[in-house]
Amino acid sequence: MKTSLIIILTLTTACAFIGSYFMELTADNIEQYLSVAFVVFADGFFGVWAGTKAEGFQTCKALKVLRTFGFWVVMLSAILTIEKGFTGTSWLSETIIAPFLVFQLISIFKNASMVGIVKNELLIQILDKLDKHKGERQ
């Protein structure tokens, strides 16, 4: 009985420590987490909308948004943990997360143009050359 209580208290303490560490990490870098969440969900919103217009709603494609969000939150957490643990690595989040955000913004514009929200012809020509895997506009 005493041994199981010690094990339970040890596990509870370890989980509380890890949880409080990531809560502080998230609170200190909330802007980075929010920017990742915003671009992933905005791209997902316009992507699902464009996909629904083109080929109908597909649940598996809509759920990819959650998988993408989960992956990038884990990546951002790992990068910020490395930055916090090792001096001189503060450049990591800018070099890894910033290109992801730029590509997500391009994808948002492409999906919004495929839905018909973006009407600028020059932007549409640029996006058609950059993001060819999404197909042609209808």
To the nearest 10°, report the CA torsion of 75, 64, 101, 123. Answer: 170
- Write out pLDDT tens, residues 50-76: 888 878 777 777 889 999 999 999 999
Instruction: Look at residue 138 and tell me whether its pLDDT is greater than 80.
Output: no
73, burial (CB in 10 Å: exposed 0-12, middle 13-18, buried 19+): middle
Q: Is the pLDDT of residue 132 over 80?
A: no
What is the pTM assigned to this prediction? 0.77
d(CA 79, CA 92): 7
